């Protein structure tokens, strides 16, 4: 199966999507309907998130296996440092590789619910760069993606310093950077240029999250430190929260945002679906010409 280092050498932009393990059977069936549609666009990979504190650990690997079997698309598990010792990492990697994994998305993760700061588990890791280095030393054949933050990490608003943190992750062995969501492309362009200046040469893939409900995205951005441009918030607030009209306005914005990114040389798009079929499918359908 292809690895990140080869996926991003292809001549056309790379389409990838991110999903999370549903909590109910109904949610699972809805996700499969979405993926059946998205599979027609031949995404290069689907990534599956790893719940807070490893709460979906088993479900993550189960869903990775199931998506690949059902749709024949490369599927990649996430892993975070939260609540995980070195032995937990070994066990998870061994299980993932036994299922056929050749890639992993390695993240530090957010502090558990109710905690204000991140604390590493006993014999665990404080930083994603440490996790990447450990993964690389434990299994040199596993390819690794890491996160980047176009507006700076919520715990490090100094973008220059945050770029140095990113460089440590890349130097430790990451092959690609998947960015946090953002809604102003100037943030991505600035981040990409600073990364290149710092000597980061791996692909930096913009992460895109179509807005399903304005109140929901307000909560998400407050946690991750991303901002919503005034023009976008005004367009969304002109409609009832969560309405079809609000979703349509957000999808139109995302389409234009993605077109600009594609036309200015972004290596692809990584779409955070929130397991929402309508928004993701509408966006990908409008952009299919870039990925053909």
Each residue's pLDDT tens digit, 239-278: 999 999 999 999 999 999 999 999 999 999 999 999 987 8
- In terms of Cα–Cα distance, which of 173, 175, 167 is closest to 194? 167
- The 10s digit of each residue's pLDDT in 35-52 is 999 998 899 999 999 875
pLDDT at residue 29 in the model: 93
- Where exactly are the structural domains of the chain? 4-291
Tell me which of 225 and 138 has the higher pLDDT.
138
| DSSP-assigned states of every residue in the chain | ---HHHHTTSSSPEEEEEE---SSHHHHHHHHHHHHHHHTT--SEEEE---GGGTTHHHHHHHHHHHHHHH---EEEEEESTT--HHHHHHHHHHHHHTT--EEEEE--PPPTT-SS--PPTT--SSHHHHHHHHHHH-TTSEEEEEE-TT-BTTB--HHHHHHHHHHHHHHT--EEEEEE-S-HHHHHHHHHHHHHTT--S-EEEEE---S-HHHHHHHHHHH-----HHHHHHHHTS-TT-HHHHHHHHHHHHHHHHHHHHTT--EEEEE-TT-HHHHHHHHHHHHHHH-
CATH code of 4-291, in short, is 3.20.20.220
**From 18, 34, 130, 151, the catalytic residue:** 18
Task: Say whether pLDDT at 166 is over 80.
Answer: yes
**Backbone φ and ψ of 58, nearest 5°:** -65, -40
Q: What is the mean pLDDT of residues 193-209?
A: 97
Print the SS3 string covering 48-84.
ECCCHHHCCHHHHHHHHHHHHHHHCCCEEEEEECCCC
Active site residue 288: no
CB 185 within 8 A of CB 260: yes
Q: How far is CA 203 from the centre of its chain?
A: 14
Task: Say whether pLDDT at 53 is over 60.
Answer: no
pTM: 0.94
Mean residue pLDDT of the chain comes to 92
Q: How far is CA 287 from the centre of its chain?
A: 19
pLDDT at residue 171 in the model: 98
Compute the chain's Rg from CA coordinates. 18
pLDDT at residue 116 in the model: 64
pLDDT at residue 247 in the model: 93
CA distances from 99 to 60, 61, 63, 84, 244 (A): 12, 8, 11, 20, 40
pLDDT band at residue 108 using 50, 70 and 90 as cut-offs = confident
Q: What is the mean pLDDT of residues 198-216?
A: 96
HSE (CB half, 13 Å, CA atoms) of 141? Answer: 9
pLDDT at residue 175 in the model: 98
39 Cβ contact list (under 8 Å, min separation 6): 71, 72, 73
How would you class 90 by CB atoms within 10 Å of its CB: exposed for 0-12, middle for 13-18, buried for 19 or more? middle
């Amino acid at each position: 199966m292809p690895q990140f280092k080869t996926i991003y050498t292809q001549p056309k932009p790379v389409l990838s999507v991110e999903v999370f393990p549903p909590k109910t059977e109904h949610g699972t069936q809805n996700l499969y309907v979405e993926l059946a549609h998205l599979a027609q666009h031949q995404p290069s990979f689907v990534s599956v998130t790893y719940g807070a504190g490893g709460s979906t650990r088993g479900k993550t690997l189960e869903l990775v296996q199931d998506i690949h079997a059902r749709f024949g698309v490369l599927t990649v598990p996430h892993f975070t440092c939260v609540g995980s010792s070195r032995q937990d990492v070994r066990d998870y990697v061994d299980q993932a590789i036994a299922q056929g994994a050749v890639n992993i998305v390695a993240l530090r993760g957010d502090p558990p619910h109710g905690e204000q700061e991140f604390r590493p588990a006993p014999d665990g890791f404080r930083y994603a760069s440490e996790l990447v280095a450990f993964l690389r030393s434990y299994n040199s054949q596993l390819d690794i993606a890491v996160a980047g933050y176009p507006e700076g990490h919520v715990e490090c608003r100094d973008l220059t310093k945050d770029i140095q943190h990113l460089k440590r992750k890349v130097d430790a062995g990451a092959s690609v950077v998947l960015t946090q969501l953002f809604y102003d492309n100037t943030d991505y362009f600035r981040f990409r240029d600073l990364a290149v200046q710092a000597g980061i040469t791996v692909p930096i893939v913009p992460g895109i999250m179509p807005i399903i409900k304005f109140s929901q995205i307000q909560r998400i951005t407050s946690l991750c430190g991303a901002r919503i441009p005034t023009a976008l918030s005004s367009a969304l607030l002109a409609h009832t929260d969560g309405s079809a009209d609000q979703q349509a306005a957000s999808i139109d914005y995302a389409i234009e945002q993605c077109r600009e990114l594609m036309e200015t040389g972004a290596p692809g798009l990584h779409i955070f679906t929130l397991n929402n079929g309508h928004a993701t499918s509408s966006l990908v359908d409008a952009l299919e010409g870039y990925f053909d």
